[in-house]
Structure 1
Amino acid sequence: MFPTDPAAEAARLVDRIAELERMKAAAAAEQAHATVLLDRARRADEAAKGVPRRRQGMGVSAEVALARQDSPARGSRHLGFAKALVHEMPHTLAALECGALNEWRATILVRETAYLAVEDRQKIDVEMCADVAWLHGMGDARLTAEAKRLAYRLDAEAVVRRARRAESERRVSIRPAPDTMTYLTALLPVKQGVAVYAALKRAADTSMDPVRGQGQIMADTLVERVTGVSTAEAVPIGVNITISDEALLGGGVEPATIAGHGPVPAGVARRLISDAVSAGAKVLARRLYRCCGTGALVTSDSRSRLFPKGLAELIDLRDQTCRTPYCDAPIRHHDHVVGSARGGATSFDNGQGLCERCNYVKEAPGWNATSVLGPDRHTVEITTPTGTVYRSTAPPLPG
């Protein structure tokens, strides 16, 4: 057998990569069609059953998210994306089907025209995607800039209204980062964001600290100015750390869990607790009992309709984030798996932590949830209107 020509083999592989990329784009277009058809079928079925119009289709985005193995928020965005493509942007959809656009670039065009009137959105759809050859070689930044330029030319007032609305959505969020770090993100109006960054940079530029770099000084200055402490190291912690007694007292290595962050090495958790004590913070230790081998917390019952504070905290420690599969949103509601109106107990086994969106979707027509009791960790079975069953199992406690 003659050896393969390396140049020919490389060309074949490049062609295969390009072909697969086109297939991915075509699949995304087909998925958009299927999503719109599901929404249409679900609404028609619920209308026939007498569901009020305002509640029709309430759970579709959650069904889409579960099918895509995605979070509910992204499922909602995908539903809006699919409707826009199928109903209002046929040229963008066609470009996606033939692979001239990938799913992300099609999403950019949908996003940058979302606030326009339908007729203006369709004009941009024609101008940018009717001739797909014009899209070749265009990067994300250029595509975004061109869509914004056309939008401003068609409806400048809409652009201004969008900017004003965006200011009302300013917020601060937090999410875990690798190596026991955290991303603290602030979404601010441009003038405020630039001013904050400039103040932090000015503090770093005027510092005579020979040890810390500019980024470290800016980060420490942010902590000091927001918390009011004299140095960033002096900040006392006020978080729930779940750690085994062996890891806390005996030097064990089983990871601990920080509420809102996730697993951290035992040594890091011990240092956080030690630093909190040194800073004069109040440290409260509470014993939790778990089943050996599974990490499951023991049950705790209540006759109250609402979950008492202690029971709610146990649920938070057990579930850590929203229990809907693929949803990593913070827990906002403490929910009865089997509703109280159907006889569900206010108990540890029948309780779950959910985000606000997932709690409301759970009450949509055709949805059902049950607790699966057994020797394993706490499991909830979620059944969608199509009869598809998804399982959500709580993570184990450390130790």
Structure 2
Amino acid sequence: MKGTDIADARDALRDVMAVLAALPAADDEAEAIDLISLAESVKSSCAAVQAEQTLRLQELRSAAEAERGVPIERRCRGLSAEVALARRVSGNAGGRYLGFARAMAEMPNTFARLREGSLSEWRATILVRETAYLQVEDRRIIDHALCSDATTLDGVGDRALEALAKQIAYQRDPQAVVDRNASAPKDRRVSMRPKPDAMVQLSALLPMKAGIAAYAALKQHADGLVGDGDRSHAQIMADTVVERLTGQARAEDVAVSVDVVVSADVLVGDSSAAAEVPGYGLIPADTARDLITDALDADALVTLRRLFAAPDSGALVAMESKARIFPSGLRRFIIRRDISCRFPYCDAPIAEIDHAHPHHDGGPTDVLNGLGECRTHNRQKENPGWSVTTAIDDDGTHEALIRTPTGHEHRSRAPDRVGGEAA
């Protein structure tokens, strides 16, 4: 496309957005269903456009870096982070979208169904995921078998689609499936996700036999205790997880450090503003006071460290610490200020504290130049063409301006305040 054609296409897309925004309510139920279905097809077509333009971005970047003499193994580094920022998603999601776009180049029928709107982006992602480990020829056979005819997958659920792809994959290359299953255990992990009402979801990704054995052991134990007391079967299983992992019957008895960021007014009971537990999120003032009171009642070690916040926004601006390097008090302060990775749309935990303006280029090790980031974004912003500058805005909030190799700018603000008064 020429420049004028691209400009016309952008204008046309904006017109489509305007039409969708002004879409009137349906006159009857059948019309409502038709519009819901059509809108789903539009979403799929938009996903195809994004994949196509992502491939084009990779092509242009690779050509430009080849012209500059960049070795082939170093080309397009950091591209997934740019895709993530453009799509307003996390860095990990950006990597998945980049991989998805590359897969579409090898799966023409899947791509065609996505373009025409008969296959959703998620269902196309299932096919990409379940064929990623195969040779290109085998991947294209599955692509043809399942997506050459748009009606093949009519009425097929997501799990059934996954099963179909696995079945054909096993028929084509049994050894590849065996190798994939053998390597999967390396991805085993435990994760925690905050949930409402001061709860967390603790999850474990385990090899099949280990996971089934662990669940069966918990269930068998609960089966023998249900009815003995007022706990439900599910509650007994949950309590048993805590007991077997920690050696304590109650979470309150486990010796761990829990940080609570709370204002002085909340601490003394003069305010109902929320407090924060780093790694979990906001908690009610009463819950924060209860946590501290319980710790004191149990003769646990309780220490107090003063953090200083801007009076208007509540953003953290300083800490009572004389540390001058990130690994000490300054590192702790930046983690409390930034909470999670400071790249826009990335909620990943902070893994590294880095200099926004590189240290090797004279960047200071201080609160202003320090930035909390996940490992992925800390690495990606070191690639050529990236730059990050920081400042304190009029409200006293720490800001970072991230510039990508294409010249696009993305602004990141530290969280405005720790909690807030109830409305």
Query: Structure 2 matches for 1:355-374, cutoff 5 A?
Result: 355-374=374-393
Q: Is the contact made by 2:353 and 2:372 (CA closer than 8 Å) also made in structure 1?
A: yes
2:136 to 108, 118, 126: 118
* Structure 2 unmatched runs, 5+: 1-24
Deviation of 1:105 (Å): 0.3
Q: CA RMSD in A?
A: 1.9
For 1:105, the aligned partner's letter is R
Deviation of 1:107 (Å): 0.3
Deviation of 1:214 (Å): 1.2
CA distance, structure 2, for counterparts of residue 296 and residue 44 of structure 1: 43
Deviation of 1:137 (Å): 1.1
1:196 corresponds to: 214
1:344 corresponds to: 363
1:294 corresponds to: 313
1:3 corresponds to: none
Q: Residues 6-63 of structure 1, C-alpha deviation per residue, up to 9 Å, x if partnerless?
A: 9972222221221111111111111110001011111211222233333211111111
Label 1:312 to 1:325 Cα distance change in 2 as closer, same or farther (>3 A): same
Q: Is the contact made by 1:383 and 1:389 (CA closer than 8 Å) also made in structure 2?
A: yes
2:301 to 267, 278, 282: 282
For 2:409, the aligned partner's letter is V
Q: Is the contact made by 1:43 and 1:56 (CA closer than 8 Å) also made in structure 2?
A: yes
For 2:120, the aligned partner's letter is N
Query: Structure 2 matches for 1:1-399, cutoff 5 A?
Result: 9-85=28-104, 87-207=105-225, 208-299=227-318, 306-376=325-395, 377-395=397-415, 396-398=417-419
CA distance, structure 1, for counterparts of residue 307 and residue 196 of structure 2: 28
Deviation of 1:143 (Å): 0.5
CA distance, structure 2, for counterparts of residue 320 and residue 7 of structure 1: 44
CA distance, structure 1, for counterparts of residue 27 and residue 378 of structure 2: 56
CA distance, structure 2, for counterparts of residue 233 and residue 372 of structure 1: 41
CA distance, structure 2, for counterparts of residue 104 and residue 171 of structure 1: 24
For 2:330, the aligned partner's letter is L
What is the TM-score normalised by the length of structure 2?
0.89
Higher mean alpha-carbon deviation, 370-379 vs 311-320, is at 370-379
- Runs of 4+ aligned structure 1 residues displaced above 6 Å come to 300-303
What is the TM-score normalised by the length of structure 1?
0.94
Deviation of 1:365 (Å): 1.1
For 1:272, the aligned partner's letter is L
Higher mean alpha-carbon deviation, 131-140 vs 109-118, is at 131-140
Q: Is the contact made by 1:337 and 1:351 (CA closer than 8 Å) also made in structure 2?
A: yes
Q: Is the contact made by 1:303 and 1:345 (CA closer than 8 Å) also made in structure 2?
A: no
For 1:201, the aligned partner's letter is K
Higher mean alpha-carbon deviation, 223-232 vs 320-329, is at 223-232
Q: Residues 227-272 of structure 1, C-alpha deviation per residue, up to 9 Å, x if partnerless?
A: 1113344234412110011111225211011111111111111112
Deviation of 1:374 (Å): 2.9
CA distance, structure 2, for counterparts of residue 374 and residue 310 of structure 1: 23
Aligned-pair identity (%): 49
* Structure 1 unmatched runs, 5+: 1-5
Q: Residues 117-171 of structure 1, C-alpha deviation per residue, up to 9 Å, x if partnerless?
A: 1111011001111111111111101101100111111111111111111111101
Label 1:45 to 1:203 Cα distance change in 2 as closer, same or farther (>3 A): same
Q: Is the contact made by 1:100 and 1:135 (CA closer than 8 Å) also made in structure 2?
A: no
Q: Residues 91-134 of structure 1, C-alpha deviation per residue, up to 9 Å, x if partnerless?
A: 00011111221100000000000011111101100111111111
